[in-house]
Amino acid sequence: MRFDDDFAGPSEYARLYRDIGWQVVPSLAPTEDRAWKRPVIKWREHLNELADADTFDGWYGDRGEHRNRHNMGIITGACSSGVTVVDIDLQKFPQALEWWQTLLEDHNGGFPLQAPTQRTGGGGLQVFVVWPGDRTPPTGKTSIGVDIRGQGGFAVIPPSMHESGKSYTWVANFEPWTVTPPLAGEWLVEAVEEVLAKYGGSTRDGPRAATKSPDTTVNAFGAIVDGREDYMAKLVWAKVTDLKRMYTTLTTIQSEQLMLDAFKQYSSTVKSRLYEVGISNDDLLEREGRGLSEFRKKWLNAMGKWTTEVAEAATISKIAFTVATAQFPIVEGEDGVARPDFEPFPMMSIPDIRTMPDPRWLIEGMKIENSLSMTAGAPGCGKTFVELSQALSVAAGLSEWWGRKIYQNGPVIYISSEGVSDLKFRIAAWERETGISVDSIPFYLIHVPVNFMDNVDIERLIMTIQYDDRLAGESPVAVWVDTVSRALPGADENLQKDMTLFVQACDKIRVSFGCTVSCIHHTNKQGGIRGSTVLTGAADSVFEIVREEGSLIGEMKARKIKAASDGWSIAFKLKEVHLGDISGNTSLFAEPASKDELSPAHELPSKFKCQEMLDAMSSAWAEGKPWSNHPNTRRDGRYAPMLMTRWDVTEDAASSLIASWILNGVVEIDFCDRHNKVKGIRVVGSLYG
Confidence at 419, pLDDT banded by 50, 70, 90: low
* 310-326 core/surface letters (b: 16 or more CB in 10 A; e: else): beebbebbeebbebbbe
Contacts of 18 (CB under 8 A, 6+ apart): 24, 50, 56
Point out the least confidently predicted range of 123-132, 162-171, 453-462, 512-521. 162-171
* Confidence (pLDDT) at 212: 37
DSSP conformation class of 136:
P
CA 599 to mean position of chain CA atoms: 42
Q: Quick check: 647 pLDDT over 80?
A: yes
Percentage of the chain beyond pLDDT 90 is: 37
Between 553 and 524, whose confidence is greater? 553
In contact, 263 and 292? CB cutoff 8 Å: yes
In contact, 22 and 16? CB cutoff 8 Å: no
* Confidence (pLDDT) at 326: 41
Confidence at 518, pLDDT banded by 50, 70, 90: very high
Between 540 and 529, whose confidence is greater? 540
Q: Quick check: 59 pLDDT over 60?
A: yes
| Prior bond of 483 cis (ω within 30°) | yes
**Per-residue pLDDT tens for 41-57?**
888 888 888 999 999 99
Confidence at 220, pLDDT banded by 50, 70, 90: very low
Contacts of 602 (CB under 8 A, 6+ apart): 546, 555, 569, 653, 656
Point out the least confidently predicted range of 224-238, 363-377, 414-428, 494-508. 224-238
**Mean pLDDT value of segment 165-171:** 85
* Confidence (pLDDT) at 595: 77
Q: Quick check: 685 pLDDT over 80?
A: yes
Q: Quick check: 219 pLDDT over 70?
A: no
**Per-residue pLDDT tens for 387-407?**
999 999 999 999 999 999 999
Q: Quick check: 451 pLDDT over 90?
A: yes
Q: Quick check: 367 pLDDT over 80?
A: yes
List the strands of the sheet with 23-26, edge to edge.
Answer: 23-26, 72-75, 154-157
Using DSSP, state whether 120 is helix, strand or coil: coil
In contact, 111 and 53? CB cutoff 8 Å: no
Smallest Cα–Cα separation from 14: which of 178, 181, 176, 173? 176
**Per-residue pLDDT tens for 280-311?**
888 888 888 889 999 999 999 999 999 888 88
**Mean pLDDT value of segment 449-455:** 90
Confidence at 631, pLDDT banded by 50, 70, 90: confident
Point out the least confidently predicted range of 158-162, 323-327, 542-546. 323-327
Confidence at 266, pLDDT banded by 50, 70, 90: confident
Smallest Cα–Cα separation from 78: which of 179, 5, 151, 177? 151
**Mean pLDDT value of segment 88-99:** 80
Between 143 and 659, whose confidence is greater? 143
Percentage of the chain beyond pLDDT 70 is: 87
DSSP conformation class of 509:
H
* Confidence (pLDDT) at 95: 80
**Extents of the domains making up the chain:** 10-198, 217-316, 361-598, 607-683
Q: Quick check: 325 pLDDT over 50?
A: no
DSSP string, 347-409: ---HHHHHTSPPPPEEETTTEESS-EEEEEE-TTSSHHHHHHHHHHHHHTT-SEETTEEB---
Rounded to two decimals, the pTM is 0.44
CB atoms inside a 10 Å sphere around CB 70? 19
* 445-476 core/surface letters (b: 16 or more CB in 10 A; e: else): bbeeebbbbbbebbbebbeebeeeeebeeeeb
DSSP conformation class of 602:
G
CATH superfamily of 361-598: P-loop containing nucleotide triphosphate hydrolases (3.40.50.300)
| Prior bond of 357 cis (ω within 30°) | no
Enumerate helices (H) and strands (E) in the chain, giving the number of each. Answer: 18, 27
* Confidence (pLDDT) at 334: 67
What is the average pLDDT value for the chain, to the nearest integer?
A: 84
**Per-residue pLDDT tens for 572-619?**
998 888 888 877 788 899 999 987 776 554 456 777 888 899 999 999
**Mean pLDDT value of segment 183-190:** 92
